C-alpha cells in the first residue's frame, strides 16, 4: 500500500474526495499519510485533522521536500495546490506526482490557467464542453502524461463559479480518486515506486500468494572495483567472487547468503558470518548484529543491512550511524519487505544518504521468473552488478542468478 502525501492550498474539496474514497474502499492500494499546505489558513488542514491525518504548513519547496522525506511518501498528489513546482524540486523529489486540472488538457491549461481563470477562459471562448484532467507532473506546467479525463457540458447562463462547481462535482471528485487508485495499484507491483539510479545493495524477504517463502539480494556498483564482481552458488550458500584485481576487498567480498539449519541469513557484508556463528553457538540474529556497526567507508558510512528467514517469520535489520534497528514480520501471503542501503539518489553532494524509515512493503508474485526478471529490469542499467532470487517449496527451492559482468 503506497504512502500518499497530498499538497493543498485552499478549501481541500479534492482532498475530501480522496479521503472519502479511502474510507469507502475506492482508494485501497494507497493511503494518505500526510497533508502539506502552502497556507496556514487553508480549510484543507481542518479536513485533514477531522480525518486523523497528519498535516503541516510549508511555505518553501525545501520544507516540502523535508516533509516528504520524513513521512516516507511514495506518491504526491496535488489537490488544489496553487504553485508551479520548480524543475529543481522535481529533480530532488524524484517521486511520481499527480495533479488534477479543471479543463480538458490540452485546452485551457499551462501557466496562468488556474482556479476561476480557467472557467472564465472557457466561457469567453464559447466552447460547449469542458471538464477535468488528471495527469502526471513534469517540468512543463500541465504537460505530463494524461491519466484520466471526464467531460461536462457548459450550460447557458453559466458563470465561472457555477461552472467551477459542476466541473468539481461531476469531474474532479470522480476521476481523481479513481486515477490515484489505478496509479497506486500499478506502482504497488513495482519493487521501486520511484526509479533509483543507486539504491546500493538491497534485500527482499517475503511470501508468495500460496505461502512459499522467498528472498532476493542485489548489489550495485559505482566504482570499477565494485562492478568487478559476480555472484556464485556454493551449495545452499551464495558467495561473491572478483572478476579482476582489486587491492582492498574487505567491504566488497563476502558471503551474502548462508544457511544455518532451518534459518537463512542474507546480508550485505561479512556480518553474515557473525550471525551464522552466533546461531551455531545458541545466539540470535539480534544479539549477533548488536556486536556490529555500519561500514567504515567514510564519508558515506554505508549501513549494514541484514535479514533472516525462519520457519515462523523473518526479521530485517539496518545498522547505521543513527542507531541499530530491527523489523520483525510474520509471513503474509503475497507480501514482502524491501530494505536497501541508500535512501535516495544524490543530487546536492556526493555523500550517499542512508536508508530511512521502515522497510517498504512490496507485492510478491507467485512466479519466480516473473519477479526476478522484473526486478533485474528495474535496477539501473549502468549501476547494477548482480541479483540472486530464491523461492522455497518446503525444504527444496528454485533460484535464479544474474551477473551483468558475465
pLDDT at residue 205, rounded to an integer? 98
- Nearest CA to 367 among 196, 189, 235? 189
Strand partners, 131: 151
Residue 70 has pLDDT above 60, yes or no: yes
DSSP 89-144: HHHHH-S-EEEEESS-TTSS-STT--THHHHHHHHHHT-SEEEEEEEE--SSTT-S
Query: For the whole model, what pTM was predicted?
Result: 0.69
Question: Residue 26 — left, alpha, or beta (φ > 0 → left; ψ -120 to 50 → alpha)?
Answer: alpha
Indicate if 101 belongs to the active site: yes
Q: Are both 2-188 and 202-403 of the same fold?
A: no
Given 83, 101, 119, 337, the catalytic residue: 101
Report which of residues 190 and 346 the model is more confident about: 190
| Mean pLDDT, rounded, for 162-180 | 97
pLDDT at residue 346, rounded to an integer? 60
Cα angle vertex 164, ends 170, 121, to 5°? 125
pLDDT band at 166 (very low <50, low <70, confident <90, very high): very high
Residue 348 has pLDDT above 50, yes or no: no
Span 42-58, pLDDT tens digits: 999 999 999 999 999 99
- Nearest CA to 345 among 210, 196, 202? 196
Of 114-118, 188-192, 371-375, give the lowest mean pLDDT range: 188-192
Give the three-class secondary structure for 273: helix
pLDDT at residue 244, rounded to an integer? 78
pLDDT band at 92 (very low <50, low <70, confident <90, very high): confident
| Mean pLDDT, rounded, for 229-238 | 96
Q: Is 2-188 CATH 3.40.50.170?
A: yes
pLDDT band at 350 (very low <50, low <70, confident <90, very high): confident
pLDDT at residue 365, rounded to an integer? 93
pLDDT at residue 192, rounded to an integer? 87
Report which of residues 188 and 179 the model is more confident about: 179
| Mean pLDDT, rounded, for 386-394 | 97
| Mean pLDDT, rounded, for 324-328 | 98
| Mean pLDDT, rounded, for 30-38 | 96
Residue 347 has pLDDT above 60, yes or no: no
pLDDT at residue 38, rounded to an integer? 96
| pLDDT over 90, % of the chain | 83
Q: Supply the mean pLDDT for the chain.
A: 94
CA distance 324 to 224: 30
| Mean pLDDT, rounded, for 279-286 | 97
Cell of 59: 511555505
Q: Which CATH architecture has domain 202-403?
A: 4-Layer Sandwich (3.60)
pLDDT at residue 29, rounded to an integer? 92
CA distance 90 to 141: 12
| pLDDT over 70, % of the chain | 98
Residue 336 has pLDDT above 70, yes or no: yes
- Nearest CA to 75 among 3, 182, 1, 178? 3
Sign of the CA dihedral with 351 first, then 354, 356, and 359 last: positive
Cell of 73: 511518501
pLDDT band at 102 (very low <50, low <70, confident <90, very high): very high
The domain ranges of the chain are 2-188, 202-403
Amino acid at each position: 500500500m503506497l504512502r500518499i502525501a497530498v499538497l493543498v492550498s485552499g478549501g481541500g474539496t479534492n482532498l475530501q474526495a480522496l479521503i472519502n474514497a479511502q474510507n469507502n474502499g475506492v482508494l485501497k492500494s494507497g493511503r494518505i499519510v500526510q497533508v502539506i499546505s502552502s497556507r496556514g489558513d487553508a480549510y484543507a488542514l481542518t479536513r485533514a485533522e477531522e480525518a486523523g491525518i497528519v498535516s503541516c504548513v510549508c511555505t518553501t519547496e525545501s520544507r516540502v521536500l523535508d516533509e516528504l522525506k520524513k513521512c516516507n511518501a511514495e506518491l504526491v498528489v496535488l489537490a488544489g495546490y496553487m504553485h508551479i513546482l520548480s524543475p529543481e524540486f522535481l529533480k530532488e523529489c524524484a517521486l511520481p506526482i499527480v495533479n488534477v486540472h479543471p479543463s480538458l488538457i490540452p485546452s485551457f491549461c499551462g501557466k496562468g490557467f488556474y482556479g476561476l481563470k480557467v472557467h472564465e477562459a472557457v466561457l469567453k471562448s464559447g466552447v460547449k464542453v469542458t471538464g477535468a484532467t488528471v495527469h502526471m507532473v513534469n517540468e512543463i506546467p500541465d504537460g505530463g502524461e494524461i491519466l484520466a479525463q471526464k467531460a461536462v457540458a457548459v450550460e447557458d447562463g453559466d458563470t465561472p463559479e457555477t461552472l467551477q462547481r459542476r466541473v468539481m462535482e461531476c469531474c474532479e471528485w470522480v476521476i481523481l480518486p479513481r486515477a490515484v487508485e489505478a496509479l497506486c495499484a500499478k506502482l504497488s507491483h513495482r519493487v521501486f515506486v520511484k526509479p533509483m539510479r543507486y539504491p546500493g545493495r538491497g534485500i527482499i524477504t517475503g511470501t508468495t500468494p500460496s505461502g512459499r517463502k522467498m528472498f532476493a539480494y542485489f548489489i550495485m556498483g559505482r566504482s570499477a572495483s565494485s562492478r568487478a564482481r559476480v555472484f556464485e552458488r556454493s551449495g545452499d550458500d551464495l558467495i561473491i567472487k572478483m572478476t579482476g584485481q582489486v587491492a582492498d576487498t574487505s567491504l566488497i567480498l563476502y558471503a551474502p547468503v548462508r544457511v544455518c539449519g532451518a534459518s537463512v541469513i542474507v546480508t550485505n557484508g561479512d556480518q553474515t558470518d557473525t550471525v551464522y556463528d552466533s546461531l551455531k553457538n545458541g545466539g540470535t540474529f539480534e544479539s549477533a548484529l548488536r556486536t556490529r556497526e555500519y561500514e567504515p567507508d567514510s564519508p558515506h558510512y554505508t549501513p549494514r543491512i541484514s535479514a533472516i528467514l525462519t520457519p515462523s517469520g523473518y526479521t530485517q535489520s539496518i545498522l547505521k550511524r543513527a542507531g541499530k534497528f530491527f523489523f520483525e514480520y510474520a509471513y503474509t501471503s503475497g507480501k514482502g519487505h524491501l530494505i536497501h542501503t541508500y535512501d535516495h539518489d544524490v543530487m546536492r553532494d556526493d555523500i550517499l544518504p542512508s536508508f530511512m524509515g521502515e522497510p517498504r512493503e512490496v507485492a510478491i508474485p507467485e512466479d519466480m521468473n516473473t519477479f526476478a526478471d522484473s526486478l533485474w529490469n528495474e535496477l539501473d542499467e549502468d549501476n547494477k552488478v548482480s541479483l540472486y532470487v530464491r523461492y522455497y517449496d518446503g525444504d527444496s527451492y528454485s533460484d535464479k542468478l544474474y551477473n551483468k559482468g558475465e
